[in-house]
Amino acid sequence: MENYYSLPPLVPEALVKKAAEFGSANLCDGMKGLGIACDGCMEASMLPLDEHSFMVGTACTVETQEGDNFPIHVAIYQGKPGYVLVVDGNGYMGSAYMGDLMAGAAKAIGFEGVVLDGCVRDRLGIKEMQFPVFSKGIMQRGPSKKGPGKINTSIKCGGIGVHPGDLVVGDCDGVAVVPRDRIEEVLEASGKKVAYEIQRRDAIAEYARCRKEGEPLPNLAPSWVIEMLSKH
């Protein structure tokens, strides 16, 4: 099959492995306050078919509309391992853009997952293959095939901008997109947030232990809560 487009460079493997240590919520926390649109969070409606799904990879993109899945076919069959296929389907809910056959092909080629601003079908078949697929909903009506759409251009998916080559992470909480030129900065900030959460879990566990054993209870409220209360 003739190549109709070029894939963006993969995010360096070391950064992908580091990102895999975080969940989508951790990464969105890391982007908070950095001036990244919507903190990199896709809309709440962009959810996995299987809540146990986890994916991390480099974005390659498709723009299409009104249930036309021809450009999605083209992107899948010219894809390579390590990418997440991110599809701007313009939120079309009238038919599915993808079913288990296309998802199976994407998995066989080596895609890390699919994010689709629109509907899919064959929910059980996709869940059984343990391939991460995120969408706005389920619709049994089949797609149309018109083409050509746009492949590997800047798109909007799940309410945020996605550029080819961005880092995409998806899990039970939803999808986070980290701009490629901000990945290291976001990973550092996310690491600090995770370290804070570990401290908080330890403090909660210690409070629970003291309460169970009848010991004096330590202060459970975080310091920032006490500081904010002092200002009111």
Distance CA 202, CA 189 (A): 20
CA nearest to 55, candidates 31, 85, 79: 85
Which residue intervals of 67-156 are DSSP H helices? 70-77, 100-109, 123-128
Distance CA 166, CA 144 (A): 29
All residues at 6 or more sequence positions from 42 whose CB lies less than 8 Å from its CB, including other chains: 115, 157, 158, 159, 160, 174, 175, 176, 177
All residues at 6 or more sequence positions from 223 whose CB lies less than 8 Å from its CB, including other chains: none
> Could you read off the pLDDT of 144-203 as tens digits, one per residue?
999 889 999 999 999 999 999 999 999 999 999 999 999 999 999 999 999 999 999 999
- Whether the per-residue pLDDT at 3 is higher than 80: the answer is no
Phi/psi for 74 (5° steps) reads -60, -45
Two tokens, residue 115: 């994010």
- Whether the per-residue pLDDT at 4 is higher than 80: the answer is no
pLDDT at 2: 60
Distance CA 69, CA 97 (A): 5
Helix or strand or coil: residue 197? helix
Distance CA 72, CA 78 (A): 10
Which residue segments constitute the domains of the chain, with CATH numbers given? 13-180 (3.50.30.40), 187-230 (no CATH)
Reported pTM:
0.93
Q: Using omega within 30 degrees of 0 as the cis cutoff, is the peptide bond preceding 48 cis?
A: no
Percent of the chain with pLDDT over 90: 92
For 58, how many CA atoms within 13 A lie in the half-sphere containing its CB? 20
pLDDT at 231: 84
Q: What is the mean pLDDT of residues 100-110?
A: 98
pLDDT band at 86 (very low <50, low <70, confident <90, very high): very high
For CA atoms 138, 142, 147, 151, give the dihedral sign: positive
pLDDT at 230: 85
Average pLDDT, the chain: 95
pLDDT at 147: 81
- Whether the per-residue pLDDT at 88 is higher than 80: the answer is yes
Residues 181-185: contacts with CB within 8 Å, 24+ apart? Answer: 182/31, 182/34, 182/36, 183/11, 183/15, 183/19, 184/15, 185/34
pLDDT at 227: 87
Residue linked to tokens 């989508």: 24
Q: What is the mean pLDDT of residues 193-215?
A: 96
Q: What is the mean pLDDT of residues 22-32?
A: 96
